[in-house]
Structure 1
Amino acid sequence: MKNLAGISIADNEFSGQIPDSLGNISRLQKLDISVNKLSSSIPLSLWSLTGLIALDLSQNIFEGLLPPQMAKLKAIGYIDLRSYRLSGNISIALRELQSITYLDLSNNSFHGQIPQQLGRLFNVEYLNLSHNFLSCVIPKSFSNLSYIYSLDLSFNMLEGEIPEGKVFSNVSITSLMGNRALCGVPQLKFPPCPANMITTSTSSAKLRLIKFVLPSVASVLVFLACFSLFVKFFMRKKAKASSQEEPPCLNYHGWIPYFELARATDNFSEDNLLGRGSIGKVYKGSLEDGLFVAVKVLNLQVEGASRSFDA
């Protein structure tokens, strides 16, 4: 049944393993096998389903690690892996899931640090890492998450200063409770951070800045200056040539990579917002070939969004 687009067998009593042949359903977009008694590990073939936009495997008894192969799910917008026995470190491969808006890894046995790279999930709106064994500090990169409305880091082993930023100004105490040594944010009844912690952190940050960051920045600036001169020369030459050609075809239906759309709209900046609708937003942008486009970003959690995408 290779043409299936969706499978839902949730809330049953299926047991045993997920068959490896599930990876042959190449057109699969939505898979929900939550609330069953499935066990063993998640087959690697599942992560080759590059068309998946929603994956719910929650409340089963899977074991194992999150493999780097999950980075292949470039179109995924929804992942629910809560209430498993998954363990190990949280894979930095998650940073490749740039379309994801909902990610739940709660009630597992993940340990180690929360990867700084999760701060690159710019479109995430819901992130739940609660009830694990995650340690060390909360990544400051989480302050970059502009669209997030729900962040839950409760009942881990986190410590240190709670970062500043939009998400932490709106977070509730229940989202951070159950950690052993967090400090700061007195309005949430956490103790103030010791002065030596802040001083040490600031001093080491300055030292790192002087030793490593400044030379790198200088090198990058020199490179960018040279590259900018090259691009200007190339674009001038290209503009002269294109002025003698036909204008770009407006019936273009090719594939455009996500990163190109993000670049064209300045990472979906509010400055490029053309309008809002019941199922999403529309942004203006300019592609590398000079073609101006309108990019519609659908909220896949709204009924009718998938039909609009098909249309």
Structure 2
Amino acid sequence: MGKLKQLGKLNLYNNRLGGYIPRDLCLMSKLMNLGLHANMLVGPIPECLGEVKSLRMVTMNSNKLSSTLPSEIFGLADLIYLDLSSNNLSGQLPYIGRLKAINELDLSSNEFSGSIPESIGNLSNLQALDLSMNNLTGFIPATMGKLKQLGRSDTRMFGGS
């Protein structure tokens, strides 16, 4: 797969793909859209995906991914959509304030613990956020009040119909 350096979109969702996410994906320097959701993928998210600066949309929800979130993913400044929901990801949420372009972020139905990072207030383009069904504790950060765009998109991530 790593030889497909010019590929911009890779959608392999809704299959029965198993095993680990191949590190060869990190060699796909033009990859903008990565759809791996609804498979049976296991193990960690490769840290090197944070080096694919062209990524705009990443969906890996509804797999069996485990481990902690690699902080390198949150260095993708042009990422606009990230869905890692319904996996077995754990640990504390890393510094997510570097996702300057993010519009939708879904980390629901995992095993994240700790508090919601204060840096969430830096996500000025965020329109939809779902952190439900985790083990988060503490207070809702006051910085969330800076998220003026939150809720301006479709309400499906907020329990709407």
TM (norm. structure 1) is 0.47
Conserved in 1, the CA contact under 8 Å of 2:125 and 2:149? no
Conserved in 1, the CA contact under 8 Å of 2:130 and 2:158? yes
- Hey, what does 1:216 align to over in structure 2? none
- The answer for unaligned runs of 5 or more in structure 2 is none
Alpha carbons of structure 1 residues 123 and 169: separation in structure 2 relative to 1, 3 Å: closer
Choose which of 97, 107, 123 in structure 2 pairs with 1:129: 107
Find the aligned partners of 1:85 and 1:128 in 2 and give their Cα distance. 16
SS at match of 2:97: helix
TM (norm. structure 2) is 0.89
Deviation of the 1:166 alpha carbon: 2.8
Deviation of the 1:96 alpha carbon: 2.1
Deviation of the 1:141 alpha carbon: 0.2
- Hey, what does 2:88 align to over in structure 1? 109
Find the aligned partners of 2:28 and 2:35 in 1 and give their Cα distance. 14
1:48-63 aligned at under 5 Å gives the runs: 48-63=27-42
Computed over aligned residues only, the root mean square deviation of the Cα atoms, in angstroms, reads 1.9
Deviation of the 1:59 alpha carbon: 0.2
Conserved in 2, the CA contact under 8 Å of 1:85 and 1:108? yes
- Hey, what does 2:59 align to over in structure 1? 80
Conserved in 2, the CA contact under 8 Å of 1:86 and 1:108? yes
Find the aligned partners of 1:146 and 1:109 in 2 and give their Cα distance. 28
Deviation of the 1:25 alpha carbon: 1.1
Q: Deviations over 1:161-200 (max 9, x none)?
A: 101223389569x759xxxxxxxxxxxxxxxxxxxxxxxx
- Hey, what does 1:154 align to over in structure 2? 132
Find the aligned partners of 2:78 and 2:17 in 1 and give their Cα distance. 28
1:36-47 aligned at under 5 Å gives the runs: 36-47=15-26
Q: Deviations over 1:1-59 (max 9, x none)?
A: xxxxxxxxxxxxxxxxxxxxx21111110001100001011111111101101110000
How many residues in Structure 1 have an aligned counterpart in Structure 2? Answer: 153
Richer in helix (by share): 1
Deviation of the 1:68 alpha carbon: 1.5
- The answer for unaligned runs of 5 or more in structure 1 is 1-21, 177-311
1:26-45 aligned at under 5 Å gives the runs: 26-45=5-24
SS at match of 1:62: strand
Amino acid in the other structure paired with 1:132: N
- Hey, what does 2:73 align to over in structure 1? 94
Alpha carbons of structure 1 residues 175 and 162: separation in structure 2 relative to 1, 3 Å: farther
Displaced runs of 4 or more, over 4 A: 168-172
Deviation of the 1:113 alpha carbon: 0.2
- Hey, what does 1:211 align to over in structure 2? none
Structure (1 or 2) with the larger CA radius of gyration: 1
